[in-house]
């Protein structure tokens, strides 16, 4: 059975050409973790820490802890020294659970997926804004998780985890997020 | 056999010259950090499929095909994904089987390409090839494929001097989910796939049946069940996985034997891995067993068996920030049983061999912009008679010219070990005028010695423009190939038997370049243009005869264009074009002349329609414009078949 594919492919190419012609908006493109780092800085802008958790020394600096593959430290290097509400962002790579004491924010990359429960257990309800990039993260009690859709980064917020920690997130942030209900907790009960 | 290790001065000077380059200012550091959240949500990210951050830093020619690319491409086989990568040559033998080579001749029995699933070796010690259709994994179960072109160095293990293909499987979903897929089409396999995944466990079942192409009367069925379990045991991460698989190809005509027979393959594998961090240090251990039985059409007696046991431990120690050393030990044990066959003879019906690998890899960040990697490997493999141990070395250097540009260079020395086909087995390869020509293994073979030099550049040239380029030069000494000057002639009545021996008499040089240029056109279209240039030259070494021994069995160049267009959240399109010029694909000897493969175009395409958040309907085509013979080697395929275009659909749904 002979099938002539040429008319089909010509039609597809024509269709593609027409579509491309109508797309005139210039693309903003960035490396995945650079964009994520920039978004983490924005999350910090929309977050209010409890007064008692921001000590005098912390008022000058904001400690962003990074957990997972060592290479993420390099990826986030661009936000080192940037400021949020007058506080300068400092980076700290942590590879064990005892190094979390100074953290105001914690980014956990996907390589630590199987350790999520232990990490979240160690943080308990401390006022640390936790950000991850897997589904397991919010199920284990993480607050914000990134995901990709159509080549762009989106994020989900787990409001229960945020509430327990005492942090306050701006409604502007909540409007842009996909809200996660604590699915896994319901299932555990 | 001890070997001295000398990094040629020219290579050192060449690589160290990176140090002397001035580092340009960070002029194109457009401050993405000043964008607000709404703007950031519109930024298209360079994700893992094109240039992941981790791989951006690697001083090696690396391509990663990620889950998103796999789904958008509509590819139904792993080679259909690999064909898109510069430097990788993919030739279709039949509707189900393909040969794959990286930066080397396209050979069925290819000792220098290492294929791994989750880091576990699927290298076939009996034949040294990978039968891609029999690999017990479907594209639905793949998270990503990492392709390292060029020498795997000391990190990846034995027999990886031309490249490494590491297939990473999908992890269990955290939320309970069930997935099902069905697909089929014209000249395309009928496929069924089902997955259930909950918590830390993922179970997958796959089956497919291929009716073959018009010129190929054989049919093919393939199936497997696999499971993966990820959990924590105190401070340890534990991963368990296993597969049971089986394949049946009916009415296959075997090479020059002309025997029409069924081909069967069945077996199982399982692996366990443990990982733990100790402060800044990391420890990992894994074990892997792989067991299969295969009947090939060339054989009249069944039951080629291979068992593999593999144990590996690695410890990574951070001496100081930016200075990390990894120590590794790997032990591998092979057991092969090859019963007597009519057209396949072997010296031993049962062969056992062991391989031990000791590696040290050290990475030092010399400055904020420059990193050096040094590696040393000791390996001892009993398949070679003189097995006192061999030392391999690796030197890699990377240097950031600016924030968005990385230049890298490497030198690697490694050894390739022969397969049993090359040491122990004698197989009928050609019949011509009452003359039976056998390709015959040689137990006195030495490992072949590979030296390779590479330099490369990765750069974000501007908004949505990414360049990844590399060039390489390699020298192969004591190459293990069929030597047309080493003949053993036996007269048997009216027929003559000629044994062509595998020897180490050939030296080869390879050189070439690869480039990938990714361009975003608007927000919706992304295209990758891939260019490959490859050349190979072989001569007899240590001989008064200085003529060319064989030709190059791969195309001189390859051009690809891979485009992905997003119409909307619900509809996306992927188109792939390839052109390769004509080339030879057979060993040139007194009794065989090169078979010429015509140049050919190929176009694959796929449209995904996400009709609901749970469901996707795909319609695609493959091999458009492609209608000739892609690969023709008489000892492997009795009758070369024309490639046929196919159209197919795929329906996927999850609950």
Q: What is the pLDDT of residues B450-500, one digit of tens each?
A: 999 999 999 888 777 889 999 999 999 998 888 767 778 888 888 898 888
**Structure tokens given for A75:** 């990826």
pLDDT tens digits, one per residue of B335-344: 998 887 777 7
Nearest-Cα distance to chain A for B250, in Å, is 23
Nearest CA-CA partner of B562 in B231, B80, B25: B80
Beta bridge pairs of residue B377:
B359, B392
Say yes or no for a CB contact (<8 Å) between B46 and A152: no
When CB atoms are compared, the residue of A12, A23, A115 closest to B524 is A23
Neighboring chain B residues of A74 at a CB cutoff of 8 Å: 53, 57
Which stretch of A147-161, B50-64, B167-181, B199-213 has the lowest confidence by average pLDDT? B50-64
CA atoms B139, B141, B144, B149: torsion sign: negative
The bridge status of strand A129-132 relative to strand A105-108 is parallel
- List the pLDDT tens digit at each of the 189 positions of chain A: 444 545 554 554 444 333 333 222 233 555 778 889 999 999 999 899 888 776 655 567 899 998 877 667 777 888 888 888 888 898 888 877 777 888 999 999 877 766 777 788 888 788 999 999 887 788 888 899 998 776 678 888 888 888 888 899 888 888 787 665 433 333 332
Say yes or no for a CB contact (<8 Å) between A31 and B33: no
Q: What per-residue confidence (pLDDT) applies to A55?
A: 60
Q: What is the DSSP letter of B635?
A: T
Q: What per-residue confidence (pLDDT) applies to B603?
A: 96
Say yes or no for a CB contact (<8 Å) between B464 and A29: yes
CA–CA separation, B617 and B609 (whole Å): 5
Q: What per-residue confidence (pLDDT) applies to A18?
A: 37
Say yes or no for a CB contact (<8 Å) between A31 and B460: yes
Q: What is the average pLDDT across B175-180?
A: 84
CB pairs under 8 A between A and B: 164
Say yes or no for a CB contact (<8 Å) between A115 and B237: yes
At residue B46, does pLDDT exceed 80?
no
At residue B635, does pLDDT exceed 70?
no
Q: What per-residue confidence (pLDDT) applies to B545?
A: 55
Say yes or no for a CB contact (<8 Å) between B44 and A29: yes
CB within 8 A of B34, min separation 6: which ones?
A: none
Nearest-Cα distance to chain B for A33, in Å, is 7
Neighboring chain A residues of B324 at a CB cutoff of 8 Å: 70
Nearest-Cα distance to chain B for A180, in Å, is 13
A66-to-A41, A90, A99, A107, B321 alpha-carbon distances in Å: 13, 11, 10, 5, 15
Nearest-Cα distance to chain B for A30, in Å, is 5
Q: What is the average pLDDT across B293-300?
A: 71
Neighboring chain B residues of A27 at a CB cutoff of 8 Å: 44, 463-464, 520, 522-523
Residue of A20, A28, A95, A119 for testing the chain B interface, max B β-carbons within 10 Å: A28
- Domain at A28-188, CATH class: alpha beta
Q: What per-residue confidence (pLDDT) applies to B622?
A: 95
CA–CA separation, B424 and B159 (whole Å): 18
The counts of H helices and E strands in chain A are 8, 11
Say yes or no for a CB contact (<8 Å) between A32 and B39: no
Pick A175 or B558 by higher pLDDT.
B558
Nearest-Cα distance to chain A for B373, in Å, is 15
Neighboring chain A residues of B32 at a CB cutoff of 8 Å: 30, 34-35, 38, 78
Three-state DSSP state, A56:
coil
Q: What per-residue confidence (pLDDT) applies to B321?
A: 76
When CB atoms are compared, the residue of B32, B56, B566 closest to A30 is B32
At residue B527, does pLDDT exceed 90?
yes
Say yes or no for a CB contact (<8 Å) between A134 and B621: no
User: Which CATH homologous superfamily contains domain B9-654?
Assistant: TonB-dependent receptor, beta-barrel domain (2.40.170.20)
CA–CA separation, B397 and A22 (whole Å): 44
DSSP assignment of B464-521 equals TEEEEEEEEEEEEEEEEEEEEEEEEEEEETTEEEEEEEEEEEEEEEEEEEEEEEEEEE
CA–CA separation, A139 and A121 (whole Å): 12
Neighboring chain B residues of A181 at a CB cutoff of 8 Å: none
CA–CA separation, B452 and B394 (whole Å): 10
Q: Write down the domain spans for chain B.
A: 9-654
CB within 8 A of B132, min separation 6: which ones?
A: B77, B78, B79, B97, B98, B100
**Structure tokens given for B583:** 């080339």
Residue of A23, A27, A67 for testing the chain B interface, max B β-carbons within 10 Å: A27
Q: What per-residue confidence (pLDDT) applies to B174?
A: 60
- In degrees, rounded to 5, the angle at the alpha carbon of residue B220 between the alpha carbons of residues B218 and B226 is 170
Nearest-Cα distance to chain A for B179, in Å, is 17
Neighboring chain A residues of B174 at a CB cutoff of 8 Å: 134-136, 139, 184
Query: Residue B606: closest CA among chain A residues belongs to which residue?
Result: A12
The beta strands (E) that lie in B493-626 are given as 495-521, 525-540, 557-568, 571-580, 583-584, 596-597, 600-609, 615-624
Question: Which of left, alpha, beta for A140 (phi over 0: left; psi -120 to 50: alpha)?
Answer: alpha
Q: What per-residue confidence (pLDDT) applies to B15?
A: 37
% residues pLDDT > 70 (chain B): 87
Q: What per-residue confidence (pLDDT) applies to A2?
A: 45
Q: What per-residue confidence (pLDDT) applies to A86?
A: 86
Listed ranges A136-150, B3-17, B589-603; the one with the highest mean pLDDT: A136-150
CA–CA separation, B340 and A42 (whole Å): 70
Nearest-Cα distance to chain B for A90, in Å, is 15
Nearest-Cα distance to chain A for B568, in Å, is 9
CA–CA separation, A148 and B44 (whole Å): 10
Residue with tokens 């050393």: B325
Query: Residue A67: closest CA among chain B residues belongs to which residue?
Result: B280
Neighboring chain B residues of A12 at a CB cutoff of 8 Å: 573, 575, 605
At residue B616, does pLDDT exceed 90?
yes
- Give the pLDDT band of residue B248 (cuts 50, 70, 90): confident
DSSP assignment of B289-310 equals EEEEEEE-TT-SS--EEEEEEE
């Amino acid at each position: 059975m002979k099938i002539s594919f040429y008319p089909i492919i010509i039609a597809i190419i024509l269709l593609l050409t027409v579509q491309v012609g109508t797309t005139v908006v210039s693309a903003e493109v960035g490396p995945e973790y650079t964009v994520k780092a920039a978004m983490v800085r924005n999350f910090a802008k929309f977050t209010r820490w409890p007064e008692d958790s921001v000590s005098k020394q912390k008022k000058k600096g904001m400690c962003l802890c990074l957990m997972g593959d060592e290479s993420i430290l390099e990826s986030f290097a661009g936000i080192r020294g940037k400021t949020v509400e007058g506080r300068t962002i400092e980076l700290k790579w942590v590879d064990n659970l005892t190094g979390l004491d100074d953290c105001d924010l914690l980014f956990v990359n996907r390589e630590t997926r199987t350790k999520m429960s232990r990490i979240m257990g160690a943080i308990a309800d401390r006022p640390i804004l936790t950000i991850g990039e897997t589904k397991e993260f919010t199920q284990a009690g993480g607050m914000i998780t990134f995901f990709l859709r159509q080549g762009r980064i989106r994020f989900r917020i787990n409001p229960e985890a945020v509430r327990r920690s005492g942090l306050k997130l701006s409604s502007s942030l909540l409007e842009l997020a996909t809200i996660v209900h604590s699915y896994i907790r319901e299932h555990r009960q | 056999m001890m070997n001295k290790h000398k990094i040629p001065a020219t290579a050192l000077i060449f690589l160290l010259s990176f140090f002397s380059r001035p580092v340009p200012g960070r002029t194109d550091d457009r401050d993405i950090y000043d964008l607000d959240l709404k703007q950031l949500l519109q930024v298209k990210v360079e994700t893992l499929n094109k240039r992941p951050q981790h791989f951006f830093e690697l001083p090696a020619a690396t391509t990663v095909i990620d889950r998103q690319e796999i789904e958008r491409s509509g590819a139904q086989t792993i080679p259909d994904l690999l064909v898109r990568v510069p430097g990788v040559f993919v030739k279709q033998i039949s509707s189900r089987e393909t040969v794959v080579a990286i930066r080397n001749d396209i050979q069925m029995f290819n000792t220098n390409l290492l294929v791994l699933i989750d880091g576990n070796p699927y290298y076939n010690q009996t034949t040294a090839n990978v039968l891609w259709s029999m690999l017990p994994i479907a594209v639905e179960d793949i998270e990503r494929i990492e392709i390292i072109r060029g020498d795997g160095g000391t990190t990846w293990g034995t027999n990886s001097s031309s490249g490494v293909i590491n297939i990473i499987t999908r992890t269990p979903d955290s939320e309970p989910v069930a997935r099902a897929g069905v697909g089929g089409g014209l000249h395309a396999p009928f496929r069924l796939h089902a997955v259930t995944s909950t918590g830390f466990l993922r179970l997958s079942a796959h089956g497919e049946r291929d009716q073959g192409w018009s010129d190929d009367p054989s049919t093919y069925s393939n199936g497997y069940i696999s499971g993966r379990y990820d959990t924590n045991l105190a401070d340890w991460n534990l991963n368990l996985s296993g597969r049971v698989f089986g394949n049946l190809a009916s009415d296959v005509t075997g090479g020059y034997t002309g025997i029409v027979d069924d081909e069967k393959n069945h077996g199982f594998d399982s692996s366990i891995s443990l990982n733990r961090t100790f402060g800044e240090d990391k420890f990992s251990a894994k074990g892997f067993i792989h067991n299969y039985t295969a009947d090939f059409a060339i054989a009249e007696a069944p039951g080629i068996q291979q068992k593999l046991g593999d144990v590996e431990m690695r410890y990574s120690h951070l001496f100081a920030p930016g200075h990390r050393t990894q120590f590794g030990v790997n032990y591998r044990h092979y057991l092969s049983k090859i019963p007597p066959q009519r057209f396949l003879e072997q010296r031993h019906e049962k062969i056992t061999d062991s391989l031990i690998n000791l590696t040290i890899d050290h990475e030092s960040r010399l400055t904020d912009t420059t990193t050096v990697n040094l590696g040393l490997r000791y390996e001892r493999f009993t398949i070679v008679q003189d097995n006192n141990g061999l030392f391999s070395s690796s030197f890699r250097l990377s240097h950031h010219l600016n924030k968005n540009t990385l230049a890298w260079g490497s030198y690697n020395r490694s050894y390739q070990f022969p397969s049993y086909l090359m040491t122990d087995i004698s197989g009928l390869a050609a019949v011509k005028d009452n003359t039976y020509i056998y390709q015959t293994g040689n137990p006195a073979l030495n490992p072949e010695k590979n030296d390779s030099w590479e330099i490369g550049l990765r750069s974000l040239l501007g908004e949505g423009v990414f360049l990844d380029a590399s060039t390489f030069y390699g020298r192969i000494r004591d190459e293990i190939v069929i030597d047309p000057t080493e003949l053993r002639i036996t007269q048997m009545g009216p027929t003559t038997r000629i044994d062509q021996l595998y020897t180490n008499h050939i030296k080869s040089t390879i050189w070439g370049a690869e480039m990938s240029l990714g361009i975003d056109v608007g927000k919706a279209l992304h295209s990758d243009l891939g260019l490959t240039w490859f050349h190979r030259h072989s001569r007899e070494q240590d001989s008064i005869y200085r003529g060319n021994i064989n030709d190059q069995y791969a195309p001189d160049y390859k051009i690809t264009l891979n485009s992905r267009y997003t119409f909307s959240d619900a509809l996306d399109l992927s188109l792939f074009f390839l052109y390769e010029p004509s080339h030879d694909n057979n060993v040139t000897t007194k009794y065989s002349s090169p078979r010429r493969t015509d140049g050919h175009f190929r176009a694959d395409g796929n449209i995904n329609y996400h009709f609901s958040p749970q469901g996707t309907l795909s319609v695609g085509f493959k091999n458009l414009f492609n209608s000739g013979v892609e690969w023709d080697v008489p000892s492997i395929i009795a009758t070369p078949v024309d490639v046929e275009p196919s159209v197919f659909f795929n329906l996927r749904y999850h609950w």
